Amino acid sequence: MTVTAEFLTALPKCELHLHIEGTLEPELRFQLAARNGIQLEYASTEEVRASYQFDDLSSFLASYYAGMEVLRTEPDFFDLARTYFERVAAQNLTYVELFFDPQAHTARGVPFDVVIRGLRRAQQDAQNRLGIRSALIMCFLRDFQAEFAMATLLESLPYREWITGVGLDSDERGNPPSKFAAVFARARAEGYRLTMHCDVDQENSIEHIRQVLHEIGVERIDHGTNVLEDETLVAELIERGIGLTSCPISNRWVSDGTKATEITELLRRGVKITVNSDDPAYFGGYVQENLQVLAEEAQLTEQDLITLQRNAIDISWAPPQVKDDFRAKLDTLR
């Protein structure tokens, strides 16, 4: 181990790729099921965890969406996010941008308003009680039609002040970024910041990265490590300061490994790459565990970990004061 556990814990952390629905631990799933009178098909939390046997993005997504059935009311969404914030406070996480998937709820009959009010209340509670600042990024599900994404965008407008940006997630196969060009153009016009998933080792990964950069105009890319297959695109990321939000432990579940080699190469070459947790309850690692796995596999130094956090705050959409405060904390570590 190149860095100590003490250093890893003390390091101030900024997380930019966290699906709040992916923080639903089996324990809370049972509690919410009981509260809502839902009978789960599992007898215990161990059984739920044992069912996590994904080996690609699609098999993970099936489990992820099934878990959400227990999220029904405003207090459910509040408790989901509150539990997450309490857990990462112990990891010295101080700023996080949370993805949420409204269509995964509205498609089940849960109103948009219920989802966002619960999350918003938990954000305020986390700021007041734990000192964690956060922002919301609304993701569209790419395996649904673009018209549904557009309707969701319009539905979000009354809550515009609560949502910092929009993203694109779910099953990438056959669902290229270009399918959502009009939705993202409208989102930009409404003042939302833009990001999109380009998951690891997808069919047409490079073409999708090209589209997000040239046709959509994203400000950063979620995952995106396949960019190394195209030198021109790597140069463009560096030149434009466009960052990547990588997720080592998630990569291990949905591809052939953590992609530590690729992440480290991008870091060394000056791409603003960051380390994140994606869906920690399903993949078994929050932000600190992801940093630890990468540090061990790639023999990172303390300075490398500081650079990863500096990258994260640089490419984040935090207000200037939050960025300054975070950088000041990092400076005390040098």
The residue ranges that bind ligand ADE (CB under 6 A) are 19, 22, 57, 64, 169-170, 197, 199, 250, 278-279
- C-alpha span between 325 and 42 (Å, rounded): 45
Report, in Å, the least distance between residue 246 CB and ligand ADE: 11
- Whichever of 64 and 184 has its CB closer to ligand ADE, that residue is 64
User: Are the CB atoms for 246 and 290 separated by under 8 Å?
Assistant: no
Min CB(81)–ligand ADE separation in Å: 15
What minimum distance in Å lies between the beta carbon of 197 and Zn ion? 6
Least distance CB 244 / ligand ADE (angstroms): 13
* Strand partners for 95: 14, 133
- Of these partners, ligand ADE, Zn ion, none, which one is at the site of residue 22 (CB under 5 to 8 Å by kind)? ligand ADE
Q: Which amino acid is at 35?
A: R
Which residue is nearest to ligand ADE, using beta carbons? 169
Q: Do 108 and 68 touch, CB atoms closer than 8 A?
A: yes
Instruction: Please report the DSSP string for 253-313 in residue order.
Output: HHSSS--HHHHHHHHHTT--EEE--BSHHHHT--HHHHHHHHHHHHT--HHHHHHHHHHHH
Q: Choosing among Zn ion, ligand ADE, none, which partner's interface includes residue 64 (Cβ < 5 to 8 Å by kind)? A: ligand ADE
Pick the closer one to Zn ion by CB: 195 or 288: 195
Nearer to ligand ADE, 7 or 144 (CB): 144
> What whole-number distance in Å separates Cα of residue 52 and Cα of residue 60?
8
Q: Which residue is nearest to Zn ion (CB)?
A: 278
**Sign of the torsion formed by the C-alpha atoms of 210, 215, 221 and 223:** negative
Q: 3 or 20: whose CB is closer to ligand ADE?
A: 20
Question: Which residues contact Zn ion (rule: CB under 5 A)?
Answer: 278
CB of 198 to ligand ADE, least distance (A): 10
Tell me how far apart the alpha carbons of residues 92 and 99 are, in angstroms, rounded to a whole number: 20
Angle between helices 181-189 and 146-156 in degrees, nearest 10: 10
Residue 246: which of ligand ADE, Zn ion, none does it interact with, CB under 5 to 8 A by kind?
none
Express the helix, strand and coil content of the chain in percent, nearest 5 each. 60, 15, 30
Nearest to 277 by CA among 300, 297, 312, 248: 248
As given in the structure block, the two tokens for residue 310 are 């500096």
Rounded to a whole number of angstroms, the minimum distance from the CB of residue 317 to Zn ion is 16
Q: What is the smallest separation between the CB atom of 139 and Zn ion, expressed in angstroms?
A: 8
| Cβ-based nearer residue to Zn ion, 278 or 304 | 278
Q: Which is nearer to ligand ADE, 170 or 316 (CB)?
A: 170
91 binds, among Zn ion, ligand ADE, none (CB under 5 to 8 A by kind): none
Quick one: 192 or 283, whose CB is closer to Zn ion?
A: 283
